[in-house]
Structure 1
């Protein structure tokens, strides 16, 4: 799957090639009008090729835009969606993710798998344990909660 920056780069390259082809077509047509270039089969084929190339490049650009719009963005399950109704001053507010939102989206998967493995695959119990620790110690990084739960389970087994 292509990243957003790769799609932008490909789109810019397509636009650049289309602009160059359009410039060549304009020059070719100006030479026809000024009668510096004879109208024969070769020049007709070059003109037709440039027109088809421009049309295909623009079509490719529209396909690229459509692909970007339909590309599923992988929303994090932990981050709540933005509210539908925004206040009047919403365009002027610069929204930043809070520390807890950033930490929730970057939970170390290895810690999660390790805790679930310690609990014999009981994912629900792992989440309940982490939520209980989160309630008792608010404001800590997300990885800290998972690490603390692992330590608690390991301590209880000894």
Structure 2
């Protein structure tokens, strides 16, 4: 395999058989486990609107989390390369699915970033655009993702 190709694999196991399988829509649980290659397990289910367990991650949340994490990791990388010191990064991504068309119709990342007092504010804001262009997850989607990085703040100067 080329050094530029990276392969990923997980295992998904349905754990929602309540003893009668899928004999009816309400007879089975939506629970499943996703196991990574190092044995780590994530507990998943359907959205509660579709009879899922609200204590578990649903696929829609996982997609938003993956998109947000990919953007964050690229952003931090680009900031490090550009000499911008990020001291805090948070995001609260939002997405809307239109059930009639079976697709996300609106997704927005809203990163809140704090940079060091010495860092270039304009460049820090601009790097969100480049991070979005480089994000593998965003590049794999068939819907537009809006980035609203209007909350970049400077850390107070240390005296």
Place the TM-score, normalised by the shorter chain, in its bin: under 0.3
Instruction: Kindly indicate which of the two structures has a greater share of residues assigned to strand.
Output: 2
1 or 2 for the larger relative contact order (CA 8 Å, sep ≥6)?
1
Rg larger for: 1
Instruction: Kindly indicate which of the two structures has a greater share of residues assigned to helix.
Output: 1
TM-score with structure 1 length normalisation? 0.22
